[in-house]
Amino acid sequence: MERRSDWYTHPKYYEAIFGTDTEKEMDFLLAVNERLGTGGSLLLEPACGAGRLVEEAARRGMKVVGYDISEPMLEHARRRLKPAWRRRVRLFQSRMESFSAPEVQGQVDLAFNLVSTFRYLDSEKAARDHLESTRRLLKPEGLYVLGFHLTEYTRDTFERERWVGRVGRDTVICNTREGLPDRRLRRSPMRNRLRIRGPGKDMLVETDWFFRTYDLAQARRLFRSAGLRVRAMYDFDYRLDSPVGRGSNRLDRIFVLQPAG
Ligand SMILES: C[S@@+](CC[C@H](N)C(=O)[O-])C[C@H]1O[C@@H](n2cnc3c(N)ncnc32)[C@H](O)[C@@H]1O
């Protein structure tokens, strides 16, 4: 069996697992934009990865700015765009901690960052810098839709998820594991295993990293300190008619953030 590390150097296998909800996510994002935001057409995706949502937005006629730290992911994103959509899209290699784009300062209608990617930002400063710089790119009534899992610090078992996808004749099995959170260090150890099997192929891509942890109070404090207010909360069911109430114990959260003004 061939062994590799870093699943983001394998965009097509990443997408076989995480590409399945793309239309539903974009339906939700555009509905939030219409109902709670400006309804305008300039979108921004920090850490856009292999570009599944960038492509979906461009296909629906939106203009999109996307950036990511990983060149292999961006390369995949560039390749997937049909020429007619490509002129509506601008992609950059950049980090969430430091991205700036003076040409769209104060002009973005909707920024979005789903599937817990925000938790890669590994300190309060990095997270605040990212939120503040994203806020500066938004219109005053623009929105930043941020989706990630909150942490229950009293949890004493590992969290596991398993998905199966296909790429051509290959089967991709994805197992992720979140270890026990460290309340003091504000992080959880993460492990992802992608096993890819197909004709003449048996490959294991194993990636280990830490995700920053937030309970609801920590997340709210951070948003406030970055000049953002929570307009609404949802969960990963992406149902606009079903917002999450303050007392909910669902940990998968979509925060709809707006400049505090
Ligand atoms: C889980 S993927 C999400 C990709 C895309 N947003 C999506 O929904 O499919 C996380 C992405 O974050 C990128 N990433 C991780 N840390 C980053 C950072 N500090 N700045 C920019 N991108 C980062 C990775 O390269 C990867 O493409």
User: What domains can you pick out in the chain, each with its CATH number?
Assistant: 11-151+213-259 (3.40.50.150), 159-212 (2.20.25.110)
Q: Is the pLDDT of residue 229 over 70?
A: yes
Residue 2: the pLDDT is: 67
Mean pLDDT score of the chain: 94
Residue 149: the pLDDT is: 97
Residue 5: the pLDDT is: 65
Q: Is the pLDDT of residue 30 over 90?
A: yes
Distance (Å, rounded) from C-alpha 241 to C-alpha 232? 11
Q: Is the CB of 115 under 6 A from ligand 1?
A: yes
Expressed in angstroms and rounded, the spacing between residue 247 Cα and the centre of ligand 1 is 30
Q: Is the CB of 69 under 6 A from ligand 1?
A: yes
Expressed in angstroms and rounded, the spacing between residue 47 Cα and the centre of ligand 1 is 4
Q: How confident is the model at residue 3 (pLDDT cuts 50, 70, 90)?
A: low
Q: Is the CB of 47 under 6 A from ligand 1?
A: yes
Q: Is the CB of 210 under 6 A from ligand 1?
A: no
Q: Is the pLDDT of residue 39 over 80?
A: yes
Q: How confident is the model at residue 8 (pLDDT cuts 50, 70, 90)?
A: confident
The answer to whether 228 touches 258, Cβ cutoff 8 Å, is: yes
Angle at 28 between CA 165 and CA 12, to 5 degrees: 25
More confident residue, 2 or 40: 40
SS3 track for the chain:
CEEECCHHHCHHHHHHHHCCCHHHHHHHHHHHHHHHCCCCCEEEEECCCCCHHHHHHHHCCCEEEEEECCHHHHHHHHHHCCHHHHCCEEEEECCCCCCCCHHHCCCEEEEEECCCHHHHCCCHHHHHHHHHHHHHHEEEEEEEEEEEECCCCCCCCCEEEEEEEEECCEEEEEEEEECCCECCCCEEEEEEEEEEEECCEEEEEEEEEEEECCCHHHHHHHHHHCCEEEEEEECCCCCCCCCCCCCCCCCEEEEEEEECC
Which residue type, as a one-letter code, is found at position 125? K
Q: Is the pLDDT of residue 241 over 70?
A: yes
Condensed to tens digits (0 to 9), the pLDDT of residues 122-157 reads 999 999 999 999 999 999 999 999 999 999 999 999
